[in-house]
């Protein structure tokens, strides 16, 4: 990361600190939740407060014309099953509006593997719910 000028980290967390420790010169940590208010102390405790700028809003609320394009976007958009938390749209918005043309997106690929199976004990449990037949 030493060769890159800016990184935007979408959805605050430990990754913004890792990016700072890896040598990023500037990190924009975008967080819509109340975590944005508490992260400041964590940044100070890890001595990265001068590299990380916390932006308390949704990434979609940032006006693209007011922001310099960034070199890298690092995000943990995926929940369990890859799609559970539904943050992919926000990362794609950030990519389309804030990432330089030759910029990098991490992660950039995800694969979901599924294997059909049957577990009768998991669904037979619901045949009788508190004495009510649910068949």
All domains of the chain in start order, with CATH = 6-133 (3.40.50.150)
Q: Which pLDDT belongs to residue 8?
A: 72
Q: Which pLDDT belongs to residue 100?
A: 93
- 124: tokens are 């037979």
Q: Which pLDDT belongs to residue 17?
A: 92
Tell me the torsion sign for CA atoms 8, 25, 70, 95: negative
Residue 68 falls in the annotated catalytic set: no
- Residue numbers in the chain where pLDDT is lower than 50: none
Q: Which pLDDT belongs to residue 101?
A: 94
The active-site residue, picked from 40, 53, 76, 124, is 76
- The DSSP-derived string for the chain is -TT-SEEEEES-SHHHHHHHHTT-SEEEEEE-STHHHHHHHHHHHTT-TTTEEEEES-GGGS-GGGS--EEEEEE----TTTTTT--HHHHHHHHHHHEEEEEEEES------------HHHHHGGGEETTEE--
Residue 31 falls in the annotated catalytic set: no
For the stretch 93-129, pLDDT in tens is 999 999 999 999 998 888 888 888 888 877 787 888 8
- The pTM of this model reads 0.76
The active-site residue, picked from 45, 60, 85, 124, is 85
């Amino acid at each position: 990361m030493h060769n890159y000028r800016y990184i935007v980290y979408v959805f605050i967390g430990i990754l913004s600190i890792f990016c700072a420790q890896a040598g990023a010169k500037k990190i924009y940590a975008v967080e819509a939740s109340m975590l944005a208010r508490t992260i400041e102390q964590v940044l100070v405790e890890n001595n990265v407060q001068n590299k990380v700028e916390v932006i308390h809003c949704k990434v979609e609320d940032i006006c693209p014309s007011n922001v310099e394009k960034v070199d890298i976007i690092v995000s943990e958009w995926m929940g369990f099953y890859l799609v559970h938390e539904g943050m992919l749209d926000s990362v794609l918005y950030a990519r389309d509006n804030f990432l330089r043309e030759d910029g990098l997106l991490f992660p950039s690929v995800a694969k979901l593997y599924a294997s059909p199976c049957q577990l009768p004990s998991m669904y037979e449990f619901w045949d009788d719910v508190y004495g009510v037949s649910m068949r």
